[in-house]
Structures are given as structure tokens and as C-alpha cells.
A and B are shown apart, each in its own frame.
Chain A
């Protein structure tokens, strides 16, 4: 996890519109997109497919309750991170 991501208090949501042919495909694409972005603990909070594609809100948890929180131990964020 980069220094900046350590400062994400709990979750990072990605909201976008995916061009797809069905809700099922949209779900697969959304989760694949999050994995491709390098996130491990991912889920799809919301999807609504209509006609041309799906509005989605995908989520990656950086810190779940009870984890060792990066933001508790965070140092100054390095510019090249």
C-alpha cells in the first residue's frame, strides 16, 4: 500500500459508468477493474444497468475495523508515491 493510501481511513470508492451489455457483465468488469487497479479487498456496493451500460460504485477496503490502521502510524506522504 502506498503512503497516500495508508491515509484512506477505511474504504476507497470508485464511481463510474461502464459500457457493458448486462448487469452481470458490469459486475464482472467492475470487480476486474478494481483488481487491475491493484486492490485486494474489493466489493461492488452498487450497480444499476440500463441500456447502454451500468452505473457502478465499487469499493476497496484499505482498513477494516480492527486492522492495524496505516493512518495511525502514517508518516509524511512522499511525493513520488
Chain B
């Protein structure tokens, strides 16, 4: 027989909560009746008894006199014999479960009670929070795309350029490529997990490294900015982790649209603090986390080993550090280990792939024009890194951070498209990563004088007009628009997220509210600030949109022409690597300087 539920607010006006619960009860197939606000207690009890209701749900929003009011209601209900056949629950903003229990109600629902909890009470079953828990799964943003060119002219130019790169790379190698090969062929992750002796591997490995890793392996000398985590610390971490895992929950930021997925970076220097950052990011809704390594790591041939903490930004890549962080991730969390810019690019991809990363990050042009690595060296290392990314089925983003030095977007995009085209030919899945940033180009030329929408929209329109590929603006969105003010910073991030969702992109990377603060490490609350902001922006926009002005169209067309011109020049020259040295993809005047790390280390096999 269908259960009958009477709902009545004990307030002069407030009955929204009960209306929502009534809807939930009706959807669960229960019969309900809602009395108007301010119905006298005696009247509620009479209706309940005459109507043979099974359950009475009361609510109280206003706080004054609540205890007396509820106590009087219970007395009246007892006197009338209502409690013999009817279960009474009370909820609302003014109600605390402990007060309800003290007064003798069958259930008390405080603020934050879900409709599902109320339904479970009415149905007389134990409420299991799991039934209301958010189920998240990893999202593969690359798989829906074909990588077919919509702009055939650009497609043909890219083919010419990347075939030339493939031919150039065919007989070349570097110390980084050799280390990656060694890591790929002679380092076994399962053996590492079993703590099997790896001294033979590292003896050989050390020969391919710079002095710092060499001294570490051969003489036991620690890098000056690192220290090994103690046994006590490792044991305590395990306790901390097992306690935390029991209560871990994740939130979902997306509202009605499934995309964009949201990425947070970590790289505090310490893998323990990283884990704390990651768990907060996951809890507050990040879909993926990106591992940031120290800047010196990109300019040092070879990795260190062990459980190492670092005194400055960026967490040292070692098998132990990556393993420890990886095993702490929720099953639904995507994990990216960036490899894009230095002398360990290829080996990073191998190591990340073996340990279980979902994505990586590779860009020859940014790494060699704005991150200090020699163009020839990074081209050969990235060539192999891309092949490993394909092997380990790790899509990777091609970030255009050279925009931050002053390289105009169309040049950075030309470089990004070359790397993406090369990746597709090598069997990998690249993701385009234009910047949503107040870049030097727009500061000087004024494209963002009126708004932050049009130029960012033009970037997405331009890329979409060229190729069917996933797009993941970053990194982070709103870069250089944020200030030290956490409200402004969070809002700016949230507004850029709003634009991203309106443009229908696949993913975004967001910063913390500490983005512009340079005086110390990023704090975890500042990460939560922006995640909350983004969640609210998704909720605000839903399926609605933002309409850019006609400028977006004009700038899109200009960008595409610019990209075509740059690619034509490189195709005509017939030498991609030389074009990087020559400034075709970003000149010294534009702040792009071919890097020196790894200079003269490429050799023919």
C-alpha cells in the first residue's frame, strides 16, 4: 500500500524546502499532501489523524523560539495519540538533529539535508550517503576527434613540414633519447614495485647523465636543493593517507554540460604536500591534475632517484615520487606529467607511461623558444617523446606558452599545429592548448582593451576552422589577468571558465587565487577558491552562452592568414629546426630566444 506523507511548515511563510521534498517523495511514488504555512499545530495533528497519514514531515526555518515551539508540538501530538501510528520528522534551517532527538522526534534533518535522506526516512530504510555520492569517471577528451583538416591549404603545408621533420629525425639521437631508450628497455616498473636491485640499471644510466645526477648515483651526493624524506615521514604519510581515504569524496564541477573538464596543477616541491594539494583539488572537483617539475629539472641531463623533497617550486621527478603521488589519486582523476620543454622530455614520457599517467605535455616550439632548450635537441627528443606517448596511449597537450614572452598567437599556433600534425603522423593524440591570457601581444596591440572575450574566442574559432581536434585552453586560463586579490583572482578565473564553457572547449586549466602572489608557496585554500568560482560559473551559464562581438570573426580571419604565412615560409625553407633558430616561429624581437640547454648534443646514429 502506498505510504501517505503529510508535510507542514511551522513557519509563517517558508515552505520551499518542503515543496522540494514533496517533489522527491512524489517521484519516489509516495502520496503527499502539503499544508500551507502557519497552519496551527492542533490543525496539523487533526488532519494527520483524519487522513490516516503514515509520516508527518515538519519544517522550521526561523530560529526564534524553535525549541519551545517544537516541544509544544510534541506534547500536543502525544496527547492526541498521533505518535502511536505516525512517524514525525522535523527539518529546516533552524533545526539541529540533536535538538530533534532530544525532543523525541523520530528524525531531525539539519541544513544541507538532501531530498534522498528525507525519502529514505519516509520509506523507513537506512539512508546510505553512497546513494547520493557523485560518480565520476575519467574523460577521454581526444577520442571524439578525427584530426581531419578543414583548411586544406594549411593541412598540405603541415604535411610538407612534418614529413621533413620525420626525415631529419630518422638518423639522429641525443643523450636524452638514449636515456629514454634505456628507461624503456631496461627499467621495469614491476621490479621497482618489488624493490628489486636496480643498481646495474643506474650504473649504466649515470653514464648518460649530467654531473649532478652522476654524483648522486656514483658518489651518493644529494642535489643541493633536495633532501630525502625520512622513514618516519613515510610511515606517517601512510597513516595520514589511510585515514583520509576512508572519508574521501569528490565533487563534480560541471553542471548541465559535461565539458570542459577542469585541471589543476601541483608541484609544491614536496610529494607529501603535493598529495595534500591533489586531494583538495579532487575533493573540490578538479577532474585532472598536472605534475610540475622544477625548472632546473628541464636543464639537467637525467633524473634523480628516491623519495625526494625539494625546497623550491616544482616536484622532482623520480620513480618513487611519481609512484607515491599516482597511487593516491582517485580512480576518476586524470593525471598528466608534463614533459614538454627540457632535456628529459623523452624519458619523462617513458617514466610517466610506465607508472600510469593518462596524459603528458610536449611542445617543441615553446620549449626551444621560451623555455631554454636548444631547438635541434628538443626536436629530436620531442620526436621520440611523441612516439612514446603514442605507445603508452597518452594524449598530450601542445601548449603555446611562448605567447607569454610576446610571440603573437598566430606564430605560436603555427608551431603548435606543426607539433600536432607530427603527433598525428606518429600515431599520437595531440590536444591544442591556446592560451586564454592577457598576453604581451594584446597588451601592446590592444585586442583586449574592451573585453577579454573576443580575442580568446577568435583563437578557438581559428583553430576550429583549421582542424577537427580537441582544444584545452590554458594554462592557466586568465593568465596575467589575475591580481593578488583573491576575490578578483577567483572571479577572473571563473569568468574565463564561463567563456570556455560557452565556446564548448574540451578542457581548461585553472590557477589558484594565489596565481599572482609570488611571495611564497600557493596555499590549498587558494586552490579551493578558484574551483568554487568555476563551479559557480558553470552553474550560472548552464546551456546558455556568451556572444562575442564581430571583432572575434575579424581576428579569427587574421590569425588564420598569419598561420598560413608562417607555415608557407617554413615549408618553403624546408628546414623546421633552422626556422626555429631563424625566428620564423617567434623572433628575438618578440621575446623568443632559441635555448642553449643541450646545444650541440644531437648526433647522427
For B237, the closest partner residue in chain A by CB is A72
Q: Interface-forming stretch among B462-470, B492-500, B518-526, B551-559?
A: B518-526
When the two chains form the complex, which single residue of A46, A63, A68, A69 contacts B517, counting CB atoms closer than 8 Å?
A: A46
Contact of A72 among B233, B484, B524 (CB under 8 A): B233
Q: Is A71 an interface residue (CB 8 A)?
A: yes
User: By the criterion CB–CB under 8 Å, are A72 and B236 in contact?
Assistant: yes
If A11-B523, A46-B517 touch, whether A71 touches B240 (CB-CB below 8 Å) is yes
Chain A 38-81 interface mask (CB, 8 Å, partner B; 1/0) = 00000111101000000001010101111011011100000000
- B520, A61: Cβ atoms closer than 8 Å: yes
The distance from the CB of B238 to the nearest CB of chain A, in whole angstroms, is 10
Within 8 A of A (CB), among B187-235: 227, 232-233
Is the C-beta of A19 less than 8 angstroms from some C-beta in chain B?
A: no
Complex Cα spacing A43 to B518, Å: 11
Asked whether A10 and B521 contact (CB < 8 A) given A45-B514, A65-B269, the answer is yes
Contact B269 A10 (CB under 8 A): no
How many residues belonging to A are interface residues under a CB distance threshold of 8 Å? 21
Which interface class (under 10, 10 to 19, 20 to 34, 35 or more) fits B?
20 to 34
B window 241-279: CB within 8 A of A: 268-270, 272-273, 276
B422-443 interface code vs A (CB 8 A; 1 in, 0 out): 0000000000000000000000
Is A13 among interface residues, defined by CB-CB distance under 8 A?
yes
Pairwise interchain contact B270-A65, C-beta atoms closer than 8 A = yes
* Chain A residues positioned under 8 Å from B237 (CB to CB): 72
Residues of B within 8 A of A13 (CB): 523, 525
B524 to chain A: which residues have CB within 8 Å? 9-10
Beyond A45-B514, A46-B485, A46-B517, is A69–B272 a contact (Cβ under 8 Å)?
yes
Q: Are B273 and A10 in contact (CB under 8 A)?
A: yes
Q: In the complex, A45→B520 CA distance in Å?
A: 9
- Interface pair B486/A65, CB less than 8 Å apart: no
Q: Are A66 and B517 in contact (CB under 8 A)?
A: no
Known A-B contacts A13-B525, A71-B240, A73-B236; A59 and B520 likewise in contact (beta carbons under 8 Å):
yes
Beyond A45-B484, A71-B240, whether A59 also contacts B523 by CB under 8 A is yes
- Which residues of chain A are near B484, meaning CB under 8 Å? 45-46, 57
Encoded as 1 (CB less than 8 Å from any A CB) or 0, chain B from 272 to 298 comes to 110010000000000000000000000
B310 within 8 A of A: yes
Q: How far is the CA of A51 from the CA of B574 in the complex (A)?
A: 62
Q: How far is the CA of A70 from the CA of B358 in the complex (A)?
A: 33
Q: Give the distance in Å from the alpha carbon of A73 to the alpha carbon of B232 in the complex.
A: 9
A56 vs B365: C-alpha distance when bound (angstroms): 41
In whole Å, how far is A34's beta carbon from the nearest beta carbon of chain B?
A: 13
Q: A46-B486, A48-B485, A57-B486 are in contact. Are A65 and B519 (CB under 8 A)?
A: no
A48 nearest in chain B by CB position: B485
- Measured CB to CB, the nearest residue on chain B to A55 is B485
Verify if B311 is at the interface (C-beta below 8 Å from A).
yes
- Whether B309 sits at the interface, judged by CB under 8 Å, is yes
Q: Are A9 and B276 in contact (CB under 8 A)?
A: yes
Partner of B521, one of A44, A46, A48, A65: A65
Residues of B within 8 A of A (CB): 227, 232-233, 236-237, 240, 268-270, 272-273, 276, 309-311, 483-486, 514, 517, 519-521, 523-525
Q: List 5 extra interface pairs beyond A44-B519, A69-B273, CB under 8 A.
A: A10-B523, A59-B519, A65-B309, A66-B311, A72-B240
Q: What are 22 A-B pairs at a CB distance below 8 A? A: A10-B523, A11-B525, A13-B525, A43-B519, A45-B519, A46-B484, A57-B485, A57-B486, A59-B523, A64-B521, A65-B269, A65-B273, A65-B309, A65-B311, A66-B269, A66-B310, A68-B233, A69-B272, A69-B273, A71-B240, A72-B237, A72-B272
